[in-house]
Structure formats: structure tokens, C-alpha cells
Chains A and B, each alone.
Chain A
Amino acid sequence: MIGVRGLSVTFQSKGREVRAVEDVSLSVAKGESFGLVGESGSGKSTILRAICGLAPVTAGEIEIGGAPVPTPRGKGFAERVQMVFQDPYASLHPRHTIDRTLSEPLAIHAVGDTDQRVMQALADVGLPTSFRFRYPHQLSGGQRQRVAIARALMLQPQVLLLDEPTSALDASVQAETLNLLSRLRDERGLTFLMVSHDLAVIDHMCDRVLVMQHGRAVEEMSRADLAAARMKTDYARSLFEASADRMLG
């Protein structure tokens, strides 16, 4: 479903070149959940942004559903791939009601039946429909992230890119949000590409994981490898040890 080959992303900043991602390849099958893990600045979020066209691709190829993605990404891409951002406090427009936020993608793609679809989307992510005309500042962090997930699903994409969807939430809300995502994936046959710095979250959600460091791929593991702590590299092992206590629980 998702194919990335030899992806490099280089940012130009005041004449200096910052290599955020170097020569990373990965492929995700339809219906699979693939994790990207690594510390801050390891380039994992940049891969998601490059897929969406929000970061410049300097080398390499990106394919969705077997066909290379167009630049600019365009409406066809939007109908297949959507993204959930890390910080639900920054990803919802502060002056738009939930209704406006959810109906905007429908308006862009000239999809009718707005009322019914917005109500259904709220119900799907477990929010009461009475929240429809609230503003984001009237919601909690977990509720906002549910709205962001609902927005990403409005166009019924096949692929969801998740950029640390729970790292800004407290532990109990994290679990709820992850369960919601798992449920939606099973119901709709979604393909997930998920970024996290937390192996426990990845272990809960993903079938395979790619460990990244300094913009390079370090090691790819299956969930079984992860559960049995079969790491080949020291870096992956140290990441594992940092979150092992929560994974076993």
C-alpha cells in the first residue's frame, strides 16, 4: 500500500543543509500497521510529512497503492491518505467549530449530505453529537484528538498517517485513543503508518517497526522480535529497555 524507496529529505536553513532523513526505505502492506520509532529529531515525523508533501523530497520515491504520488499531492491523494497530527491543541482551527472542521473536507471535495456525515463521524469516534457546534477550546485534549481522527476519516481514506497521536495526552486517555484507532482500523481495513518515540505504543498497535536514529533506518523488527527482545543493534536494545517495563504490563 505504501512504498518508500531511498527517501532523503534535506532542509535548507540559512545556507546550512540539515539532513533530516537519509536513504530510508520501507513498505507497508494493505491493512498492516507499521511503526516508526526513534528519539526526537531522528526524522520519523519528517518521513510522514514527506509522504504528505509537507516536507521537500530531495531523493527517492514514494508510492501509494503501487503508483508514485503526484506533486503537488492534490485532491486524489487527499481521498486516499490522511494524517493525524501530534498535538491536538495545535491541529484544530481555534476559530472554527467542530462542525466547520469536520465539514470542510466535504466542502473541498464537493461531497453532499454534510449534516448526516458529520453526525456519523462524531458517533464513530465516540463523541456525543451535542458537541457538534462547540469550539476546540471547549474540549479536552482527548476529545480534540478524537475530532482530529474524525476529520482524517471524513474522506474515507485507505491510509492513515499517525504522527505520535497520543504523546500529548495523559496515560488513561492515551489508551482510549489507541483503542479507538485499533477499532477503526479493524472496522474499515485501514493501513496505518505510525510514528512514536514510545515502543510500548508501537508494540500495542503495530505489526512491524522500523527503528530510526539520526535520520537513518537502524533496524526493522516484527512484533514477535520485539516481544522476544530479539534486537540486532545496541540502539534498538537501549530503546527497548527504556520502555520494557510498560510493554510487559
Chain B
Amino acid sequence: MGGAVMAGVMAWLREQNPTSRAQARAGQWFLGWLRLKRNPLAMVGLAIIVVLLVVAAFAPQLAPHDPIAQNLRERLLPPLTDGHLLGTDDFGRDILTRILYGARITLYIVALVTVTAPVVGLMIGTVAGYFGGWVDEVLMRTTDIFLAFPRLILALALVAVLGPGIENAVLAIALTAWPPYARVARAETLTVRNSDYIAAVRLQGAGAARIIWGHVVPMCLPSVIIRVTLDMAGVILTAAGLGFLGLGAQPPLSEWGLMISAGRKYLFEQWWVATMPGLAIFIVALGFNLLGDGLRDVLDPRSAGK
């Protein structure tokens, strides 16, 4: 029964002559998925991110303890202690629990940055590339100015002005992360804007907004998506860095960077306090990087359609 349904779905996805736009699109996604599946490292990356999603969604159910409740009698217990798989921190809070809850904050930051910086970058880059001339000059010189600032320093300055907190940290990261996307989008736009299919739609009387949104952006999207997944590691590290400096998430929130910062004092005697959240950052950053590399092979416009 289940097998028959599965076979039906597969046949629907593989249909040479789809009967609707949705089916055509689903079929393309399915082909992309098959190509991604052939890359074992990308699948490892995907698995890490799926685990992160699950952990973030079910943190209260998965976590053995309360992430905030302090218990000074059990402070700084080493890993593999009974009831505390990864040990406890200086306030006696279970590190595993705090890492599980921290996944939520990490994911929150990643999600917010993903829906802001690439969108802004994509808009600025495509508009600059499509119109050229003085529009291009103004937008790209602005981009250059933002690029010229060291990212963490600019984020620091913004947080210092706006005050510490996750939302302000995200805003600071987003404001410093968009210029590379604008560059990528502009480069892609320059390669497609003189193509015949753009000329054809212009000849049909389409306005600039329709051409940019409907025809140029789909060609830029793959490069930007690849760039986003590869940058996610950097975003997580910047967020952790801001947390470490006390300018991101505030105690007692269990943000990973903040946890490392708290464990710094005990780095030599109680190494696990800083190491465990560090490992979490390392694994998630690695996951995004592996997935990004795999997506590059699937989404690259130069390899698609062949």
C-alpha cells in the first residue's frame, strides 16, 4: 500500500510532461535532490542541520534539566557524571541542556539573518547590475564602503549604539553581511542582462521591475543561496563572537558564544565548560559548509540543465 503510493509519487515527480507548474517545479526539485543525494558529504551536512532543527524544535522534551535553574552544589561537574552527560557549568546548570536550548537561539539568529541580508543584497545587486550607469556607481560604491569595514568591528559599533541583545546582534550582522550578496547578484546580473531572453521580454513591453524580479532574480538566486549556506558558518561565529564579548544574547540565555565566554575562566581546570558549546558551534558551522558545497554542485547555473 505504502509502496504503491510511493511509486505513484515517484512517477509523478519523474513525469516528462508535467500537467501543472507545480508539478514541473516539484520535478525539478526532485532532480536536484537526486543530484544532492549522490554527494555523501552534503548529506552529512544536511543531516547535521536536520538534527539542529529537530533539537531546536523539541528542546524542552529532549533536555534532561532546566537550562536556567542554578544548583551550586553540583557546579563544575565533569562530563559523564551521573545525570550530567556533558557536565555542569559554574552555576551547576547542565551543559547538555543549555546546548540544546542554545540551538534555538542559534537557529533564530541564522533564520533572521537569512531573511534579511541576502534579500537586501539581492535587490541592491540586481538593480545595480540591471540599470548600470550612475545607479550602479552609487549602489556599488556604497557596497564597497560597507565591505571596507571589518565585519565584527562594524557589528560591535552598531551593538554599542543600539544596546546589547539578540535582535540588535542580528541587525548588526545583517547590516554587515549584505555587501557580498550584492556583489554576487550584480555579477550574475551582468552576465544575463544582455542575453536574448531578457531582450525578448523587454521587447514584449515588460517594465524594469518585472524583468528584474521575474527574469533576473531567478538566475541570481542559486549563487546567492550557495553563498548564504557557506556564510552561515561565519554568521554563527559572529553571533557567538558578539555573545562572547557580552554584546549579543544576555545571561541567563544559553547562547553558545556566551557559554564559551563564561567557561573561559575555567579553561584550564574545567575544560568542558567552554569546550562543549565550542564543539556545538564547530559541528553546526561544518554542517552548513558541507551542505553549501553540495548545493553548489546542484544549483550552479553553469551545471544546471545539462
Contact = CB atoms under 8 A, between A and B. Distances in A.
A79 B201 CA distance: 13
Given A90-B197, A97-B21, A135 B203 contact: no
A77 interface: yes
Interface in B197-253: 197, 199-206, 210, 214-215, 218-219
Given A97-B21, A99-B21, A91 B205 contact: no
Contacts of A95: 218-219
Contacts of A77: 205
Q: How large is the interface on B (under 10, 10 to 19, 20 to 34, 35 or more residues)?
A: 20 to 34
B80 interface: no
Contacts of B24: 97, 99, 133-135
Contacts of A54: 199, 202-203
B205 A108 contact: yes
Contacts of B215: 93, 96
A79 to B, nearest CB: 8
A180 interface: no
A104 interface: yes
Contact of A134 (B18, B201, B304): B18
Interface string B165-208: 00000000000000000000000000000011101111111100
Interface in A91-113: 91-97, 99-100, 104-105, 108-109
A63 B218 CA distance: 36
A133 to B, nearest CB: 4
B61 interface: no
B19 interface: yes
B18 A91 contact: no
B81 interface: no
Nearest to A82: B203
A44 to B, nearest CB: 16
Instruction: Identify the interface centre among B196, B214, B306: most chain A CB within 10 Å of its CB.
Output: B196
Contacts of A92: 197
Interface string A72-87: 0111011100110111
Contacts of A130: 17
A130 B219 CA distance: 26
A75 B200 contact: no
B23 interface: yes
B28 interface: yes
Nearest to B20: A133
A144 B28 CA distance: 19
Nearest to A137: B305
A216 B201 CA distance: 30
A130 B18 CA distance: 7
B204 A78 contact: yes
B182 to A, nearest CB: 21
9 contacts: A74-B205, A90-B195, A90-B197, A93-B215, A97-B18, A132-B17, A133-B18, A137-B305, A138-B16
